[in-house]
Amino acid sequence: MCLLDEIAMEGFRFPAALLMFRKASFTLDGVLQDVAGSSVRMDAVVLRYALEHWAKTSAALWMLLSTRDWISLDWSFLTFFSRVFPRFLNARVAEQPQ
């Protein structure tokens, strides 16, 4: 979730479903902190559950996404560098002394 937050702060756009998932997890994180204390984070609870139940978790991940979703993820990954590299170059050029 922290990675999603950082990416969003950089100006990237996410699909509505992912934003709703983030909002729901943020709400659950607040409830969890109210119940268990501020030292407990939702990310850690989800990670611990996934590691303890890795076989069921990995099978569920494959079933949750459609073929179209997997193709979109692959395409997004394949085009990631061509989308990000120009921003990187612009930032580097802006940092250079004139």
pLDDT tens profile 26-83? 888 888 888 888 888 877 888 888 788 777 767 766 777 777 887 787 777 778 788 7
Same structural domain, 72 and 60? no
Number of domains in the chain: 2
Same structural domain, 1 and 33? yes
- Mean predicted confidence (pLDDT) in 11-19: 80
Cβ 47 vs Cβ 61: under 8 Å:
no
Domain that holds residue 88: 66-98
Same structural domain, 91 and 45? no
**Rg, the chain, Cα only:** 18
Residue 26: name the closest of 8, 49, 12, 11 by CA.
8
Same structural domain, 58 and 70? no
Same structural domain, 50 and 72? no
What predicted TM-score, i.e. pTM, was given to this entire model? 0.43
The encoded tokens of residue 34 equal: 């109210």
Instruction: Identify the pLDDT of residue 50.
Output: 78
